[in-house]
A and B are shown apart, each in its own frame.
Chain A
Amino acid sequence: MTVLTIARLTVREAARRRVLWALAVLTLALLTLSGWGFSRLTGLDTEFGDLTSGQARLIASQLLNLVMFGLSLIAALGTAFLAGPTVAGEVESGMALSVLARPVRRSAVLLGKWLGLVTVGCGYVVVAGLAQFLVVRWAVGYWPPDPAAGLALLAAQTIALLTLGLLLSSVISPMASGVVAVGLFGATWVAGIVGNVGQVLGNEGVERVGTVSRALLPTDGLWRGAMHAFQDPSALATMGAEGAGFPFLSEAPLAVAYLLWAVFWVAMVWGLTALVLSRRDV
């Protein structure tokens, strides 16, 4: 009961504070620009001559990953900055006092906020992602091989980041928590690319940077799984060894063990947040 009440309140906050509007406007801009760009791919005159429809599909598959990364960035930034003010902000402003003085468990309030943020984040990823797929299909006739799994992994990436945002917001100030969450998200992505470069160069030490960062914060690992579900299966074969270092191409689907680790990671961070919150004076 408390969980659903707080979840509804969180979704309503996102709607009333015009967060959903801002997301919609940003996404519409991204969709329009990408639609225009994709439509120019077919019949593009390059130094190698006109692109065939097959080549266009290949490029479209990689460009789709690039645009989806843009979408995931909007979702990540949006939810991280929504999660930021959640605990620290409400305690600072005094809004938490009257709510927590009710017969409610703090863990139930936290679960409600988490569910509300998950609904907003995942809802956005699914709607905006599907719209992007339709735009690409209209422009170049490309449809990703496994759209459902890809969107689910993208949603999981958003969940991982917003859970981290909640933990940070229960220990540091609202503004700092948003900045740190987004900073870590970016750093993990860059570390993933560095790891890939290490792989191409055959340097195990550099390669390990990516592996370790993907274990510490699973956003980049989940993103790579999502990319694999979006990209054309022939892309890797065409790009060959050089493809491994390309940031918008994923070599392999996500391992079940990594997926389980991501689920455990989210549960662990959530549990830690609940523990911090239960001990905190408000």
Chain B
Amino acid sequence: MAAEDMTVGDTRTAAQLVAELPDSPAVWCSGLRKRYRRRTAVDGVSFAVGRGEVVGLLGPNGAGKTSVIKMLLGLVHPDAGEVMVLGRPGSDPMSRARVGYLPELFRYQPWLTATEVLALHARLARVRMTDGDSHDRLAAVGLEGRAGDRVGGFSKGMQQRLGLAVALVGRPELVVLDEPTSALDPIGRVDVRDLVLSLKEQGVAVLLNSHLIGEVERVCDRVVILDAGRVAAAGTLEELLGRREVRMHLTGVDGRAEARLRAAGEVSASRDRYTVVLPADDDGATVPALVADLVALGVGVHAVEPARISLEERLLGILRAGHPGEGHR
């Protein structure tokens, strides 16, 4: 009896321990390498996407982004490296049970209707999908009026929208979108942005490969920049974009005011335009305090403009640093 109690107790403790364990990342990869004949496409790529995190994969054409995505999904076999998807090894097909994927090269069975394509993917993902679910998925991507039409008659943009609906089949915990807006019009791009934000709200992890840096900057928590098959930089937007600045248009700046400006951070000036680099640990109080002090010192404050270098500038800077002899890219 006592031994039985102990076993029950042990089991409970083990269950508690497992329950208290932090969730494994949605995606984790380490040292991924891939060669296509003589060309090295991916060379030691490692990164992770946390649960519920939106990570952007950026880089120039041929940087290895799509190859990395395909290796994560078991479509391309890495020459070296490890992949874990939702806590399972990437080589196990069940690791993809809760994964939605929109490929860069999207194409669906032209002889099926949009509803039938969704039903096919629901069966492959082993999830039950009612007519209502199917309608909701198609409505979410603006295809509710074309549910019964054959995919063969769809435009490229409509096929990409269908691909987004397919990626959402089976309540995924990870959605991988490879260039999801390549065939979409501006409205479609906004729809994709809203879709990613809604997935983020629902706690779904998203790995987004896009050339639209502005979109990535708006929706992503973190960014991984690939160049020539390697991770050139990775981090949160704050880490990557680094220093924040404030640009000011000031008149009547005397020695005391200049000293106050220098006390706030590194100053560069051109006539009456001043740029102050804010400290990394700025909690948002530096600029109002600076402006108040400058006004108190009798300085005319005409304009105050907080500024941060854009992700595009940062990306170009990183890529140029990696190819010093090649000029602009």
Interface residues of A (CB under 8 A from B): 1-2, 5, 9, 12-13, 16-17, 93-95, 97-105, 279, 281-282
**0/1 string, B90-126, CB within 8 A of A gives 1:** 0001111101011101111101100000001101111
Interface residues of B (CB under 8 A from A): 70, 73-77, 93-97, 99, 101-103, 105-109, 111-112, 120-121, 123-126, 163, 166
Jot down 12 A-B pairs with beta carbons below 8 A, ordered by A: A1-B123, A5-B120, A13-B111, A16-B111, A94-B103, A95-B109, A98-B101, A101-B101, A104-B93, A104-B124, A281-B70, A281-B75
Q: How far is the CA of A99 from the CA of B76 in the complex (A)?
A: 14
When distances are taken between beta carbons in the complex, the residues of chain B under 8 Å from A2 are 124
**Among A95, A101, A105, residue most surrounded by chain B Cβ atoms (within 10 Å):** A101
- Cβ-defined partner of A103 (8 Å) among B76, B97, B103, B109: B97
Q: How far is the CA of A99 from the CA of B105 in the complex (A)?
A: 13
Q: How far is the CA of A12 from the CA of B111 in the complex (A)?
A: 8
When distances are taken between beta carbons in the complex, the residues of chain A under 8 Å from B101 are 97-98, 101
Which chain A residue lies CB-closest to B167? A98
With A9-B120, A94-B107, A281-B76 already in contact, 19 other A-B pairs whose C-beta atoms are closer than 8 Å: A1-B123, A5-B123, A5-B124, A9-B109, A13-B111, A16-B112, A95-B107, A95-B108, A97-B75, A97-B105, A98-B166, A100-B75, A101-B73, A102-B93, A103-B93, A103-B97, A103-B124, A104-B124, A282-B75
Identify whether the interface residues of A are mostly helix, strand, loop, or mixed: helix
Q: How far is the CA of A28 from the CA of B123 in the complex (A)?
A: 37
Q: How far is the CB of A114 from chain B (nearest CB, A)?
A: 17
When distances are taken between beta carbons in the complex, the residues of chain B under 8 Å from A98 are 101-103, 106, 108, 121, 163, 166
When distances are taken between beta carbons in the complex, the residues of chain A under 8 Å from B103 are 94, 97-98, 101
Which chain B residue lies CB-closest to A105? B93
Q: How far is the CA of A1 from the CA of B120 in the complex (A)?
A: 11
Q: How far is the CA of A1 from the CA of B125 in the complex (A)?
A: 10
Which chain A residue lies CB-closest to B111? A16
Q: How far is the CB of B128 from chain A (nearest CB, A)?
A: 13
Q: How far is the CA of A10 from the CA of B124 in the complex (A)?
A: 14
With A94-B103, A101-B75 as known contacts, state yes or no: A17 contacts B111, CB within 8 Å. yes
Q: How far is the CA of A76 from the CA of B86 in the complex (A)?
A: 45
Contact across chains for A103 and B125 when beta carbons are under 8 A apart: yes
Q: How far is the CB of B183 from chain A (nearest CB, A)?
A: 13
Q: How far is the CA of A95 from the CA of B163 in the complex (A)?
A: 11
Q: How far is the CB of B157 from chain A (nearest CB, A)?
A: 16
Q: How far is the CA of A228 from the CA of B99 in the complex (A)?
A: 54
Q: How far is the CA of A93 from the CA of B152 in the complex (A)?
A: 13
Q: How far is the CA of A103 from the CA of B96 in the complex (A)?
A: 5
When distances are taken between beta carbons in the complex, the residues of chain B under 8 Å from A13 are 109, 111
Q: How far is the CA of A94 from the CA of B70 in the complex (A)?
A: 12
Which chain B residue lies CB-closest to A94? B105
Contact across chains for B93 and A279 when beta carbons are under 8 A apart: no
Q: How far is the CA of A13 from the CA of B120 in the complex (A)?
A: 13
When distances are taken between beta carbons in the complex, the residues of chain B under 8 Å from A12 are 111-112
When distances are taken between beta carbons in the complex, the residues of chain B under 8 Å from A281 are 70, 75-77
Q: How far is the CA of A105 from the CA of B94 in the complex (A)?
A: 9
Which chain A residue lies CB-closest to B102? A98
When distances are taken between beta carbons in the complex, the residues of chain A under 8 Å from B123 are 1, 5
Q: How far is the CA of A200 from the CA of B293 in the complex (A)?
A: 114
When distances are taken between beta carbons in the complex, the residues of chain A under 8 Å from B105 are 93-94, 97
When distances are taken between beta carbons in the complex, the residues of chain B under 8 Å from A94 are 103, 105-107
When distances are taken between beta carbons in the complex, the residues of chain B under 8 Å from A104 are 93, 124
When distances are taken between beta carbons in the complex, the residues of chain A under 8 Å from B166 are 98
Q: How far is the CB of B158 from chain A (nearest CB, A)?
A: 15
Q: How far is the CA of A38 from the CA of B281 in the complex (A)?
A: 96
Q: How far is the CB of B31 from chain A (nearest CB, A)?
A: 18
Contact across chains for A103 and B94 when beta carbons are under 8 A apart: yes
With A1-B123, A2-B124 as known contacts, state yes or no: A93 contacts B107, CB within 8 Å. yes
Q: How far is the CB of B109 from chain A (nearest CB, A)?
A: 7
Q: How far is the CB of B121 from chain A (nearest CB, A)?
A: 7
Q: How far is the CA of A97 from the CA of B101 in the complex (A)?
A: 9
Q: How far is the CA of A1 from the CA of B121 in the complex (A)?
A: 12
Which chain B residue lies CB-closest to A16? B111
Q: How far is the CA of A104 from the CA of B92 in the complex (A)?
A: 9
Q: How far is the CA of A16 from the CA of B111 in the complex (A)?
A: 6
Q: How far is the CA of A100 from the CA of B70 in the complex (A)?
A: 11
Q: How far is the CB of B255 from chain A (nearest CB, A)?
A: 66
Q: How far is the CB of A71 from chain B (nearest CB, A)?
A: 26
Q: How far is the CB of B26 from chain A (nearest CB, A)?
A: 15
10 tightest A-B contacts by CB? Answer: A94-B105, A16-B111, A102-B124, A97-B103, A101-B101, A281-B76, A103-B97, A94-B107, A5-B123, A101-B73
Q: How far is the CA of A103 from the CA of B239 in the complex (A)?
A: 36
When distances are taken between beta carbons in the complex, the residues of chain A under 8 Å from B77 are 279, 281
With A1-B123, A1-B126, A5-B123 as known contacts, state yes or no: A101 contacts B74, CB within 8 Å. yes
